[in-house]
Amino acid sequence: MYYRLRNNFRLSIITLLGASAVLGITPFAVYRFWQGNLPAGFADTGILLSICMAVVYAWRTGDTDRAGFVLALVAVGGGATVATLLGEVGLFWLFPSLITSFFLTSALIAVLVNFGALGFLLAEGTAFSSQEQMWSFVTTAIVVSCCAYVFALRNDSQRERLEHLATLDPLTGVKNRRSMDQELAAAVLASQRNGVSYALVVLDLDHFKRINDEFGHSVGDTVLVEFVDLLVTHIRKSDQLFRFGGEEFVLLMPGVDERGLDVVMNNLQHSLRRSLKSPGGQAVTASLGIALLQDGESAASWMARADDALYRAKASGRDCIIYADLSAVASG
């Protein structure tokens, strides 16, 4: 529970709104019924129940986009309804709703919801005691919405940038291990649903420590970048490349068979020998372990088989390809 709240911003906002609704609206709903103001009491109760149902839906399904949109409608629409029933006192409820809507749904939708509520209040008119109060409220509500809109856009942009940076390896620019775990899990699910074949290739540069020791880590970093650039020219747009750690990389390839995969991997191996050189002029080679995803296999098992194939490639003299499902070694 704590993990989901910590890692899902919108779910945490939805949960906070639910808790605030229970603590904040419940006493007022009881007070309205006690006063005999049944319409306002039922309105408060309806808002409270709708918010609670949306929170439960978000937790059970993980669909925070739909739950957030519903909550924005309920919060802002409910605030406008209460304002028409209670007049000036009810208007105070609308300001936090106008701001909260930007945390619950996209900035554009929040603007439409907020302006729709203001348009309803203007058309209905009974919430205001005078023209001066009406236009003062509308003006301040527009200013609040505009400020929240700018903040929401900036917040979304920064969050997207941080999420993007969190999934990339800073040296090579390819996706990192965290992103790899997510994509492997998604590939397993896609294979189960649609029957798509997937291959997992683990690549490790041979004797890379020697390059670092002889020429320094900055030269080693340059070799890694050149290695990635060479890989990218030999894979399809649908393939995904990840840096697993150090000089080890992982390639996820959808929609491949053994024959086509063998041709691609051998071409890649020949290109590495021909094009990738250390500062001393020696060819930089790589060992490859390959595993095709099997029916009902987990991502962890799949990765373990590919990694074991790489280990056997290293033990067989390096600069070779081993398939997890075959005992043969392809030296190229």
Assess contact for 205 and 247: CB atoms under 8 A: yes
Residues shown for the chain: 332
- Any alpha helices (H) in 234-298, and if so which ranges? 258-275
CATH code for residues 177-330? 3.30.70.270
In the block, residue with structure tokens 């028409």 = 84
Q: Please report, for residues 85, 92, 201, 298, 304, the alpha-carbon distance to residue 191 in angstroms, rounded to integers and kept in the order given.
A: 55, 53, 17, 11, 18
Beta strands in the chain (DSSP E): 198-205, 240-245, 248-254, 286-292, 321-323, 329-330
d(CA 79, CA 67) in angstroms, rounded, equals 18
Which ranges in the chain are annotated with CATH 3.30.70.270? Answer: 177-330
Spatial separation of the C-alpha atoms in residues 195 and 225, rounded to whole Å: 34
Q: Is the overall model pTM greater than 0.75, yes or no? A: no
Q: Residue 200 corresponds to which tokens in the numbers above?
A: 């997992």
User: Catalytic amino acids?
Assistant: 247
pLDDT per residue as tens, the chain (332 positions): 666 666 677 788 888 888 887 888 888 889 888 988 888 888 888 888 888 888 888 888 888 888 889 888 888 888 888 888 887 777 887 888 888 888 888 888 999 999 999 999 888 888 888 888 888 888 999 998 998 888 888 877 777 777 677 788 889 989 999 889 989 999 999 899 888 899 999 999 999 998 998 899 999 999 999 999 999 988 888 999 999 989 999 999 999 887 888 888 988 888 888 888 888 888 899 999 999 999 989 999 999 999 999 999 999 889 999 999 754 444 44
Q: What's the token pair of residue 286?
A: 């790589």
Tokens of 257: 């068979």
Look up residue 327 and give its two tokens: 């005992």
Alpha helices in 62-130 (DSSP H): 64-86, 88-91, 94-104, 107-124
Task: Dig out the tokens for 51 from the structure.
Answer: 């918010």
Q: Is 200 helix (H, G, I), strand (E, B) or coil?
A: strand
